Amino acid sequence: NAGVTQTPKFQVLKTGQSMTLQCAQDMNHNSMYWYRQDPGMGLRLIYYSASEGTTDKGEVPNGYNVSRLNKREFSLRLESAAPSQTSVYFCASSLLAENNEQFFGPGTRLTVL
Amino acid sequence: AQSVAQPEDQVNVAEGNPLTVKCTYSVSGNPYLFWYVQYPNRGLQFLLKYITGDNLVKGSYGFEAEFNKSQTSFHLKKPSALVSDSALYFCAVSPNTGFQKLVFGTGTRLLVSP
């Protein structure tokens, strides 16, 4: 099992460019999440998908969109990147949304110039 | 809304000594509590969780945590630290009713010296 995989590992964008971060899990988990990690701020939830076919906003959704493509895949899109979106992005999944531990991918380090 | 406080940015301990990483929380109702560890350039890894029952929870790599409802704390402990325990540790909380999002603390860096 690969667990949770993310692509790309690194990305540099110019302000205004768009990109999609890909995430896939092979654990047959129902719930998936996107977080960003910034120094001194811990992890903040951007969007989540409690189950296939549903998505909801987290704590910091502005500037992002998501797609739960199927049970395995959950993508995060930046339509017009801004320097404030420079961060490390983590995808995670859990078997169920309630009281289950989350499994994290290795992260994508994004720099917006 | 729930919140987590990890009051120490960094904890230093000598190898072989006991370690404690502190966490306090605020949540409506009863909590689900988690500890995660992050090694450099890696994603977070689950260590342990408290859902209900025994206040002392044992987890991976010899770590344990004690849930204290009156003090709203969930401190992470290990009897004998290893250099390889050096990493960033995150506490997280959610209410125990329905689907609730996890809220993470800001993290505590643990440095274990040889």
- Mean pLDDT, to the nearest integer, of A65-79? 96
Look at B46 and A103 and tell me if their CB atoms are within 8 Å.
Answer: yes
Across the interface, whether the CB atoms of A92 and B107 are under 8 A apart is answered no
* pLDDT one-digit tens code per residue, A78-87: 999 999 999 9
B107:A42 CB<8 A: yes
List chain B residues with CB under 8 Å of A103: 46
Centroid of chain to Cα B110: 12
| Predicted pLDDT at A100 | 78
Mean pLDDT, residues A38-66 = 92
- Chunked into runs of 10 residues, chain B (114 residues) has average pLDDT values of 92 97 92 93 92 91 95 97 96 78 92 96
User: Worst-scoring range by mean pLDDT, A33-37, A50-54, B5-9, B88-92?
Assistant: A50-54
Q: Which of B89, B86, B93, B94 is nearest to B106 (CA)?
A: B89
**A91 in Cβ contact with A77 (< 8 Å):** no
Judged against a pLDDT cut of 80, whether residue A56 lies above it is answered with yes
Backbone conformation region of residue B41, classed left if phi is above 0, alpha if psi is from -120 to 50, else beta: left
Q: Round to whole Å and give the CA distance between A110 and A87.
A: 6
d(CA A64, CA B24): 31
- pLDDT of B98 reads 65
Question: With the C-alpha atoms ordered A24, A29, A31, A37, is the resulting torsion angle positive or negative?
Answer: negative
Candidate from B42, B51, B104 with C-beta closest to A43? B104
CB spacing of A40 vs B106 below 8 angstroms: yes
From chain B, the residues in CB contact with A43 under 8 A are 44, 90, 104
Residue length of chain B: 114
Q: A39 burial class (0-12, 13-18, 19+ CB within 10 angstroms)?
A: exposed
- Which range has the worst mean pLDDT, A57-71, A92-106, B21-35? A92-106
Residue B99 pLDDT: 66
